[in-house]
């Protein structure tokens, strides 16, 4: 891989400035690793936990213990972790349909959810396909304030108007494809306290994708009723090759388990077919792997800011997820960034990504993903909708060293090197 001397010099400068931030990331990683290790020890993880089951999967001890460990690590009462969940969007769909009923309202209080949820909710797509709207579930939205905080006055007004119909207050922790700040765990905790006070019957549900193990607590530890995510993002540690999770209060998880399988059966079934080991191993690696991705994101912010691009978060900001956005300002710049990331990937580095009409998205999307596991965004990846302001959303990096190489390659690509 050829990297220009300009970018090599800039990277060396960046690492000197980033040293104290990297040290803090390592501190958080250690604390999170300690929490995971304590849970493994308490639940007496052994080789027998890695055994697979078939058929119904009754009495799968490895699966059941993993659920218990996951709940403990997430600060929740209960959890389900399953390879049958194919993506983060699928996990979220299970959560939405598990809790919401005809006549209920889903109130999203951090603006519009991620693009792939629009058809699930019924904001777009073909009527009759089975969206929440088709089943009589309503949707309402409160945007964040201009400075990126919850608009409590409007939320309270909406909850008062909806009354008992306000079954779910939905929070997307990460920015998704929006140019906004990611929400911190303490902020979400304050929201949960507020909602439970003014609307006791509402479930506070958090799309936790990209946020796991970035801080020393998860939203369920500070009052959220349910958090949802994908195992091919942070919590799978680059080891899980599929799967998703839902964690929260016993009642919330029970309702979701009935949607996952069937009412009355819930989480008591589900053969694991040998996936248990990769899930345990992924959770073990997750704090460290997330730290590697965070360091890579800081480096990307520093380098592209120095090259004159708007970035969010800034290189010296505290982070609450692994996503780094770089506003390239043009379709050509966005595509060049993604092609540079692809060229710096360990798999399919020879492939040139192009924008395409990806299912679930309203705009053409370009994706760079030279990953060992298809779609794994804890591995090195970058993507973005081809629409103004042409923002590249970068995340992942199983190792800082490989992420560093990819960022250097992307910088040279954008510069036309």
299 and 251, same structural domain? Answer: no
Residue 37, domain member (yes or no): no
198 and 148, same structural domain? Answer: yes
Q: 139 with 105: CB under 8 angstroms?
A: yes
239 and 217, same structural domain? Answer: yes
Residue 328, domain member (yes or no): yes
219 and 190, same structural domain? Answer: yes
Question: How many folded domains does the chain comprise?
Answer: 2
User: Residue 314's pLDDT is what?
Assistant: 96
What is the extent of the structural domain holding 252? Answer: 48-278
Max distance between CA atoms of the chain, in angstroms, equals 63
Q: How far apart are CA 269 and CA 272, in angstroms?
A: 9
Note the residue count of the chain.
417
Q: 397 with 293: CB under 8 angstroms?
A: yes
Residue 181, domain member (yes or no): yes
R_g (Cα) of the chain, nearest Å: 21
| Final residue before a domain boundary, out of 248, 278, 308 | 278
90 and 204, same structural domain? Answer: yes
| Final residue before a domain boundary, out of 258, 278, 298 | 278
Q: How far apart are CA 61 and CA 209, in angstroms?
A: 27
338 and 409, same structural domain? Answer: yes
Residue 147, domain member (yes or no): yes
25 and 76, same structural domain? Answer: no
> Which among 97, 172, 102, 108 is positioned nearest to 140, based on CA atoms?
108
Residue 200, domain member (yes or no): yes
User: Residue 31's pLDDT is what?
Assistant: 98
User: Residue 177's pLDDT is what?
Assistant: 75
27 and 99, same structural domain? Answer: no
User: What CATH code is carried by the domain that includes residue 21?
Assistant: 3.90.1150.60
In the chain, what is the straight-line distance between the N-terminal and C-terminal CA atoms, in Å? 12
Taking the CB of residue 295, how many other CB atoms lie within 10 A of it? 23
User: What CATH code is carried by the domain that includes residue 252?
Assistant: 3.40.640.10
117 and 218, same structural domain? Answer: yes
Burial of 183 (0-12, 13-18, 19+ CB in 10 A): buried
Spell out the per-residue pLDDT of the chain, length 417, in tens: 789 999 999 999 999 999 999 999 999 999 999 999 999 999 999 999 999 999 999 999 999 999 999 999 999 999 999 999 999 999 999 999 999 999 999 999 999 998 889 999 999 999 999 999 999 999 999 999 999 999 999 999 999 999 999 999 999 999 877 778 899 999 999 999 999 999 999 999 999 999 999 999 999 999 999 999 999 999 999 999 999 999 999 999 999 999 999 999 999 999 999 999 999 999 999 999 999 999 999 999 999 999 999 999 999 999 999 999 999 999 999 999 999 999 999 999 999 999 998 877 788 999 998 999 998 999 989 999 999 999 999 999 999 999 999 999 999 999 985
In this prediction the pTM is 0.95
Helices 152-162 and 185-198, packing angle to 10 deg: 40
Q: How far apart are CA 407 and CA 214, in angstroms?
A: 20
121 and 229, same structural domain? Answer: yes
318 and 372, same structural domain? Answer: yes
Residue 314, domain member (yes or no): yes
| Final residue before a domain boundary, out of 261, 278, 295 | 278
296 and 240, same structural domain? Answer: no
């Amino acid at each position: 891989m050829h990297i220009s001397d300009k970018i090599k010099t800039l990277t060396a400068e960046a690492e000197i400035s980033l040293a104290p931030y990297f040290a803090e990331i390592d501190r958080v990683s250690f604390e999170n690793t300690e929490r995971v290790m304590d849970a493994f020890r308490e639940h007496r993880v052994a080789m027998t936990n890695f055994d697979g089951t078939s058929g119904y999967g009754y009495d799968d001890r490895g699966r059941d213990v993993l659920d218990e460990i996951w709940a403990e690590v997430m600060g929740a009462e209960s959890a389900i972790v399953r390879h049958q969940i194919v993506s983060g969007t699928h996990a979220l769909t299970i959560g939405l349909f598990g809790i919401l009923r005809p006549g209920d309202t889903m109130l999203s209080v951090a603006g519009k959810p991620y693009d792939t949820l629009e058809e699930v909710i019924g904001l777009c797509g073909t009527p009759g396909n089975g969206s929440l709207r088709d089943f009589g579930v309503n949707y309402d939205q409160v945007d964040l304030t201009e400075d990126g905080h919850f608009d409590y006055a409007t939320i309270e007004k909406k909850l008062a108007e909806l009354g008992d119909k306000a079954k779910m207050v939905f929070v997307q922790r990460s920015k998704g494809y929006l140019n906004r700040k990611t929400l911190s765990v303490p902020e979400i905790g304050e929201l949960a306290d507020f909602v439970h006070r003014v609307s006791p019957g509402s479930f506070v549900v958090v799309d936790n994708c990209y946020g796991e193990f970035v801080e020393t607590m998860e939203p369920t530890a500070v009052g959220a009723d349910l958090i949802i995510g994908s195992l091919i993002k942070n919590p799978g540690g680059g080891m899980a090759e599929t799967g998703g999770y839902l964690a929260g209060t016993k009642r919330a998880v029970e309702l979701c388990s009935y949607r996952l399988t069937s009412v009355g059966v819930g989480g008591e079934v589900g053969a694991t077919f040998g996936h248990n080991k990769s899930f345990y191993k992924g959770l073990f690696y997750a704090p460290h792997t997330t730290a590697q991705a965070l360091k890579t994101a800081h480096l990307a912010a520093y380098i592209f800011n120095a090259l004159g691009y708007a970035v969010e978060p800034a290189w010296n900001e505290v982070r609450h997820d692994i996503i780094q956005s770089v506003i390239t300002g043009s379709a050509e710049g966005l595509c060049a960034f993604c092609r540079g990331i692809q060229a710096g990937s360990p798999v399919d580095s020879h492939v040139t990504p192009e924008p395409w009409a990806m299912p679930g998205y309203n705009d053409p999307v370009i994706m760079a993903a030279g990953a060992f596991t298809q779609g794994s965004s804890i591995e090195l990846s970058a993507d973005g909708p081809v629409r103004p302001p042409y923002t590249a959303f970068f995340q992942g990096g199983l190792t800082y060293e490989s992420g560093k190489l990819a960022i250097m390659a992307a910088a040279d690509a954008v510069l036309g090197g």
